[in-house]
A and B are shown apart, each in its own frame.
Chain A
């Protein structure tokens, strides 16, 4: 049941993947997510606020992420910030998407090896 639900999301949109990946380790607020994606992709992917918050709204509706009720230590926190985290379903979807991408990368690598050997 869960497996089929997970499969129904695949493949997921690029910006969803980036947002979910940045929430894989810890809870994040909107700006934090944007920063994390920017750094991880060495500036290649920049989630502008409209895209970022639009995607967050859809991810919440899809049940892949949720608003977190636990907050960081008060000295690092701003009461107005909203933190997001992956739901168990979201984590499952993220893992499945990562596996799918890994298989894809492997397939590409195999092809490349074959092309190089022939060449």
Chain B
């Protein structure tokens, strides 16, 4: 039945002539039969024909009713309405252009932000049945740390994974991977002796790919045998992008040898292009390497030994028959047993209590792990609400423009109603016009969104060469945009549609042009005003929110970071790429520092493991003066390794003792400089210098003697409270931790100008020494506050957009009002009203609307500001300066928008106005 209805509908749609001919044939046969019968009953031919015609009624009406019986009649009328809508749009091109552009901006902003939200927050990993993946804990933190307090765990030691890996009763499969990517140097070429390039490696367990359910594009993926023995299986699976860009898409790549940090690995597989592993972060891995090759890949001590540090994340695939709660309690129980066994026989009751309070939450892992997700969740939520408000303002604008149009079309609607059209039909027609506008605007918005999304993603990933974030809208984004278009059309079409369908037939047709506008009831003029008030309110809210966010940014920028941020250049290099082994590093450092120091325009230079103002900093528990810390009050510190000249270059003031000096060489007693917080916390008597500490992380063995105390400086955020920090002499470390990757340079003038000189100096020392990144400390600082920069800049942009739209809206409504009141204003002029009086007459209305809008806007702004309180820094949510500025900006913009029509009112020629019928 459905099929027949659809097929007959399509036939009618595509061959309307045939359908009409059939109906006509039916009616004609009906007519002839009727005439025939009436003649048989004794009527003459003329009377019979007249009676038959009366019986049938209007041929057009019959045809309409018969064809309306099918679904295709709705499509036909929709097409007719759309065609008519297009004609209406073309009839007033300026109005339509403003409407379409407003919509394009509103819909484009919504689509752009939604694309990023979709990418970062909603997208599932491109793997088999991602909904069945679970993550052991939140797994966003990364690093290598010692076990600590009770609570939820998300980072584990390798031997815990070994303990549970074989379980098949509670979970279908379990895999482990390093909680951090490893930057490695790769040499490709014959005998792996080619030039070194930098790549991102990810250490994963043999079950990694099978748990994700991913098949390779070429070759094979790891299996549990590949990670059965430590250090024995140097194989690598590479990403599709790495294969294409670095291995020239070599079809014979399987079996090729590449040197990773000096160890030769065999490529065994290439992954499909869509696969990016389990991390959705700025950059996705190029290589997946067996976790058992960790010492070779990280060129450091093994993290695989029993009782090792906590450094891996664990993911698993659920069994359909096993409940999440059961799997979770199994994992927690296993973990508590593991921790208990790890403590040995001497276990204090406090530790036992701590272990009992440790647990592993099994969380949905289908969307992968991402530190970006947690960092951008709040900013993106704020922005999504803001762009939603921008769209509402655009809708209010369009509703007003269409209301004005509907008022001018009152006579047309009256004529249509008088000719038998239904009110519903007129409302549908106006809604269709709105939909046509919304769809055109939405199409343009989608184009705008595409560009805007690229810009936003560039911002989030810091311009990374390759990222799993995609600017291309997927089906969900397209559906979102389409839904927004429909919603927008309904929102801005409903008021004009209701107004159009409520037109009073007798009134409007009888009225003259002068009174036609006047017959519009008071309620009809109230709606545009209510919409303007709403726009003022919403603009004020957006402006004050954006103002607070910009003030936050300003405060963060002005924050004292404990160092002198003027004229410092940071250069990222990697001696590994030039083939330096740890024993040759100290000599290299001497050469670099003395060569760079000698360059003109350079005040000082220093080397370090991590740059200043950098989030991913190294940290470890410590023991002060060799005495172990109590289990419930663990001592720990953040760490960095630095050379001589480091503190002088960054302008971190020395408070007592000395800084790291060239005398702190490999043979000398190990020296460390600590910050004030470290000294105050662990040596409250002020006698830190001369004391020592040991570091739990095996990467920094030995006893470190405190030789100096420096001022506290900020690291991961300008808003952070000072944390304990120890700077170790880089020359006194060993293995992988002896590598310094960052060169800090203080210049006399603009640091950007000496970049070329420094590059040349480094090339002179060793042409193979790469310069991977050059940036000023200002840029480094900006990276630190990029979340705030992101939200405040975009918020500022959207607030201005909202204000512009509201300004255009007020201008449109006021212009319409002036035109509507032309004859009234003309009469007033003729009676001697001055220009000032006329301007005041028009402005008074705007001022009233503005005042009401501001009145509503202030409490709403305060509520909105309180909602974003957590994202503010150094500014009160109820900051009077921000709110006053926002009110002033809104007032000035809107008054400018209504002053132009007010001026126009004074240009009216009374004679023309009075003749304006």
Contact = CB atoms under 8 A, between A and B. Distances in A.
B898 to A, nearest CB: 54
Contacts of A81: 29, 33
Contacts of B57: 48-50
B26 interface: yes
B381 interface: no
B738 to A, nearest CB: 81
B472 interface: no
Given A29-B33, A30-B26, A61-B1, A50 B70 contact: no
Given A30-B29, A35-B37, A61-B70, A50 B4 contact: no
Contacts of A54: 65-66, 68-69
A24 B754 CA distance: 101
A69 to B, nearest CB: 16
A50 B30 contact: no
Contacts of A63: 1, 4
A58 interface: yes
B28 interface: yes
B5 interface: yes
A54 B33 CA distance: 19
Interface size class on chain A is: 20 to 34
A54 B70 CA distance: 9
Given A58-B69, A61-B5, A62-B1, A53 B26 contact: yes
B30 to A, nearest CB: 5
Interface string B684-697: 00000000000000
B43 to A, nearest CB: 16
A7 to B, nearest CB: 14
Contact of A49 (B1, B22, B25, B62): B62
A57 B70 contact: yes
Nearest to A33: B30
B34 interface: yes
Contacts of B34: 31
15 contacts: A49-B55, A49-B56, A50-B57, A50-B66, A51-B65, A53-B23, A53-B27, A53-B62, A55-B69, A57-B66, A58-B70, A61-B8, A78-B32, A81-B29, A82-B29
A71 B4 CA distance: 24
Interface string A37-66: 000000000001111011101101111000
A48 B27 CA distance: 11
A108 B516 CA distance: 59
Contacts of B465: none
A61 B57 CA distance: 25
A80 interface: yes
B61 interface: yes
Contacts of A29: 29, 33
Contacts of B33: 29-32, 78, 81
A93 to B, nearest CB: 11
A35 B29 CA distance: 14
Contact of A82 (B1, B26, B56, B65): B26
A34 B33 CA distance: 11
Contacts of A50: 57, 61-62, 65-66
A29 B36 CA distance: 14
A82 B25 contact: yes
A30 B30 CA distance: 6
Interface string B250-263: 00000000000000
Which of A49, A62, A78 gathers the greatest number of chain B CB atoms within 10 Å? A49
Given A50-B66, A54-B69, A61-B4, A78 B27 contact: no
A50 B69 CA distance: 10
Contact of A80 (B29, B68, B69): B29
Closest 7 CB pairs between A and B?
A31-B33, A50-B65, A54-B69, A61-B5, A53-B66, A50-B62, A81-B29
Contacts of B37: 31, 35
Nearest to B56: A49
Given A60-B4, A63-B4, 14 more contacts: A29-B29, A30-B26, A31-B29, A31-B33, A48-B55, A50-B66, A53-B23, A58-B69, A61-B8, A78-B29, A78-B32, A80-B25, A81-B33, A82-B26
A36 B61 CA distance: 24
Interface in B786-845: none
Residue among B28, B32, B56, B65 with the highest chain A CB neighbour number at 10 A = B65
A22 B37 CA distance: 18
Contacts of B22: 82
A30 B33 CA distance: 9
Given A54-B66, A57-B69, A63-B1, A49 B28 contact: no
A112 B4 CA distance: 44
A32 B36 CA distance: 12
A2 B32 CA distance: 39
Nearest to B34: A31
Nearest to A32: B33
Contacts of A55: 69
Contacts of A60: 4, 8
A113 B88 CA distance: 67
A34 B55 CA distance: 11
Given A62-B1, A63-B1, A49 B27 contact: yes
Nearest to A63: B1
Contacts of B28: 80
A12 B445 CA distance: 49
Interface string A74-100: 000010111000000000000000000
Nearest to B23: A53
A43 B652 CA distance: 107
Nearest to A59: B69
Max chain A C-beta neighbours (<10 A), residue from B32, B33, B61, B70: B33
Interface in B7-40: 8, 22-23, 25-30, 32-34, 37
